[in-house]
Amino acid sequence: MQGSPGLLAHYSWLDDSKSNWEVLEELDQDYGTQPPYPQSEGWGLDEWSVTLTGYLYVPHAADYILTMTADDQFSVWINKGDLAMGDHPTASPAAPGSDWVHVIDEPCSTFVCEEHAVTGTLTLAQGWHALHVYYYDVSNSAAFKLEWQTTDNSIVPRAVIPSRCVRGVCSARVRDP
């Protein structure tokens, strides 16, 4: 898989009133009460999102537990089969026949949620898998962390997914779910 370590991050405030793209290496981010980019550049404190897309390298075929710790709204999808990035998940659950698995889904039905962990488990083959992560800050502080481990903790111990195991891609079809 070519490209730099990290995932392609699309930051958006108020439906792309402001937006920016960058490669995000660390899947453990704490923005405090600030927006991802300076308020002096027009970014608001709240109601911003980041969509991370790219590929995840799975080192061993195994059952994996993913844990996302964040506030407000977040989701994680993994494609168990198709490596094409054209068919991003657009709904929950993914369309019938799709290989996208909605591993983690936190819609934060109370509007604003305190930071908390949500886990999902799935079986993955060794190799690259398309990955799609969505985070939305409604208000207050903003942070997210994405960890993995195998159910047999001796194979892949719980840790933040390392940047060397993810690759971003450039795609005009990347959209918020």
Q: Contact positions toward Ca ion, by CB under 5 A?
A: 71-72, 137, 140, 142
Residue of 64, 75, 49, 67 whose CA lies nearest to 131: 75
Residue of 84, 110, 109, 114 whose CA lies nearest to 99: 84
Based on CB atoms, which residue is closest to Ca ion, 62 or 138?
138
Based on CB atoms, which residue is closest to Ca ion, 94 or 142?
142
> Could you tell me the smallest distance in angstroms from the CB atom of residue 94 to Ca ion?
26
> Could you tell me the smallest distance in angstroms from the CB atom of residue 125 to Ca ion?
35
> Could you tell me the smallest distance in angstroms from the CB atom of residue 69 to Ca ion?
13
**How many Å separate Cα 103 from the centre of its chain?**
11
Task: Name the residue number minimizing CB distance to Ca ion.
Answer: 71
Based on CB atoms, which residue is closest to Ca ion, 71 or 106?
71
